[in-house]
A = this chain, B = another copy of it.
Amino acid sequence: MSPKGADALARDPASVFAALGDRTRLRLVARMAADEPQSISRLTAGTGVTRQAVTRHLQVLAAAGLVRGRRRGREVVWAIEPDRLVEARRALDEISAQWDRALARLRAHVEAE
């Protein structure tokens, strides 16, 4: 298909990385991945920021497709949605693979002279 290596990443994983590119958000993701689904209030504890700030972070993560919140009575329970996490990992793999191929090409080129 697309022989253009650089365009193999045409889909946009940047938004996922951007979502993970914040200390607080990354910690939130880690906590949601480690424990059971939790309410906003519980997730707020220990972050050092306001509940409203945590709410915004959760919305950013949700917009990136990384987490999902479900209403449960008077609270909203948030949990990981690992699909796009896999996508992000695949993007990194792709870049690494391209780099390996480029290295091999360079090596072959040098040895040919």
Contacts and interface: CB of A to CB of B under 8 A. Distances in A.
Copies of this protein in the complex: 2
Contacts of A22: 14, 18
B102 A33 contact: yes
Contacts of A40: none
Contact of A89 (B13, B31, B92): B92
Contacts of A88: 92
A98 B30 contact: yes
Contacts of A14: 20-23, 25-26
A33 B94 CA distance: 9
Contact of A21 (B9, B19, B92, B98): B19
A31 B34 CA distance: 35
